[in-house]
Structure 1
Amino acid sequence: MIPKIARPACWHCAPLPKPTVGWVAVAAEAGISRESLYRALSPRGNPTLKTLVAVLKTVGMRLSVEPEHRESA
């Protein structure tokens, strides 16, 4: 079972915590190394959609896309 971790509104809004067993478990279940997870979620990271979806699924979240709401002219 993956331990629950604090989830900021976006990964770039809060500094990543120091490596812990929780992050190692998240990386392992997502199928990536801890180093790759840290690199992908760092402020200068550029994760692939595949990595992002795998990490989100591991922590019990999903990515969704919604249409932009525009007022009728």
Structure 2
Amino acid sequence: MYGKALHDVTLTTISGEPLTATDTFAQVLELVLAAYSAVVFATLAGALGAFFLSRQRADNSQDTSDS
């Protein structure tokens, strides 16, 4: 009972909707894949943000050195 509730709450938190796995292995696999997808998305978003911030800093440093 507690494991089923934990599974549903975790998937709702990570993915926004509960999935319907019936056995324990499938439920654990769902949790691992959902957590992995959140980590991959956060890594890509962070890398993209860092890219644009580094370009902005480079442009700002060129502007101040030209003056």
Q: Which band: TM-score by shorter chain?
A: under 0.3
Which structure shows the higher helix fraction? 2
Larger radius of gyration: 2
TM-score, normalised with respect to structure 1:
0.25
TM-score normalised by structure 2 residue count: 0.26
Higher relative contact order (CA 8 A, sep 6+): 1
